[in-house]
Amino acid sequence: MISRIDLRGRDLDRRALTAVLPRPELDVAGAAEQVAPLIADVRHRGAVALRELGERFDGVRPEHLRVPAERIAQALESLDPLVRAALEESIRRARLVHAAQVPAELRTELGPGAQVRQRWLPVRRVGLYVPGGLAVYPSSVVMNVVPAQEAGVGSLVVTSPPQAEHDGSPHPTILAACALLGVDEVYAVGGAQAIAMLAYGAQGETDADGETLCEPVDVVTGPGNQYVTAAKRLVRGVVGIDSEAGPTEIAVLADGTADPAHVAADLVSQAEHGPTSASVLVTPSVELAEAVEALLPAVVARTRHSERVATALAGPQSAVVLVDDVAQGLAVVNAYGAEHLEVQTADARAVAEQVTSAGAIFVGPFAPVSLGDYMAGSNHVLPTGGCAHFSSGLGVHSFLRPVQIIDYDDVALAEVADRVVALAQDEDLPAHGEAVTVRFPG
């Protein structure tokens, strides 16, 4: 059901480790070639293209690309009270964590009358993508919207694929989550075409659309499949993006103290997302590996989405990796750079402090990834495919820009004028120096 990779007795450097670790067989570059014409079509034809692509990929031609306000309100009214309570608590916890991320203004005094400040300014408008394929993700609405709101973004757009069973609107629970968060600009657009709409805006087709269906945004965030990821890659530079967040992945670093039932359940929980999801166990304990492997068939058989889970666990992106000890296990998970990393070892907190590459780190037996998906207060929009080596999960910082403010008076400028002139002359840019000396005639 899941393959093994035995690294015991092998001293591999980072390059060699990266080559042998499991990864999904995804071709984002190839997907980019496929979605590039779609992006150009949306850019050129706007709502006309969006409706055609909705019919082609989602099996429904949305009458209302922008979801009417009354439908959003209706979705909240009909929301299951238990689900509403859970979403409200998820929002409350996420607000506490993300409000604490807002950075303070910095002020540096370099001398009398010489000051540099750094302010953090929110972007003007953001587009938040919420997937809608094999599962429903109101939790992703929370994870996208809350940090943007806490950053002070003034204009928020949520877009999610149209659903044929819901008359061409996104799933009602997604709409209800938007209502709870006060987001009223919601679009029934999914896939690469949604990313194109957000990046370039879209002209309207019908009277209900208006002349302009959607204004362009400054930043696009949110997870998606390889086509959404490819589209984000193609529009990067036109807009900012959070990261190329593709199919989900979990790595569990565990020793013999871990409960195999916990580990098996956690591997299955992420495989549930879809057949390209990655589940990786890294352990020095052969006994734990064998126990987990023995449990998996029964755990998979009794879960609702057993077929997609089995496909994900059997794929090239999933494996049990045997290592000599926890130290080698750390080297492996640091080379892997998992979206979600669970540490289930005897000294989990100390081991977690040695992790250098992971989207989010879950410490000990009572911090499963599922907690982070919904209720931990942390963000579940995280980098995948090794992108954790250079990027981070979604947060307030994703929507803020640091701007430096230089505030010097005449005395402070005069103090460094000759040095500015010296450097300007050395760089053969004399006008730079003259822009200073002109302020001190005579």
Query: Which is catalytic among the residues 150, 185, 244, 339?
Result: 339
Most distant CA pair in the chain, distance: 89
What residue type is assigned to position 8 of the chain? R
Q: Determine the Cα–Cα distance for residues 353 and 131; give it in Å rounded to an integer.
A: 32
Map tokens 């911090």 to a residue: 367
Q: Determine the Cα–Cα distance for residues 58 and 190; give it in Å rounded to an integer.
A: 8
Residue 255 tokens, joined: 């020793």
User: Exposure pattern of 401-439 as b/e (b: 16+ CB <10 Å)?
Assistant: eeeeeeebeeebeeeebeeebeebeeeeeeeebeebeee
340 in active site: yes
105 in active site: no
Q: DSSP label at 215?
A: -
Beta strands in 265-398 (DSSP E): 278-283, 319-322, 338-344, 358-363
Instruction: For 111-160, give the DSSP string.
Output: ETTEEEEEEEEE-SEEEEE---SSS--HHHHHHHHHHHHHHT-SEEEEEE
Give whole-number Cα distances, 417 to 22, 327, 422, 437, 442, in Å: 58, 55, 9, 7, 14
Query: Which is catalytic among the residues 98, 171, 305, 340?
Result: 340
Dihedral, CA of residue 169, residue 172, residue 176 and residue 179, to nearest 10: 20
Q: Determine the Cα–Cα distance for residues 11 and 343; give it in Å rounded to an integer.
A: 22
Active site amino acids: 339-340
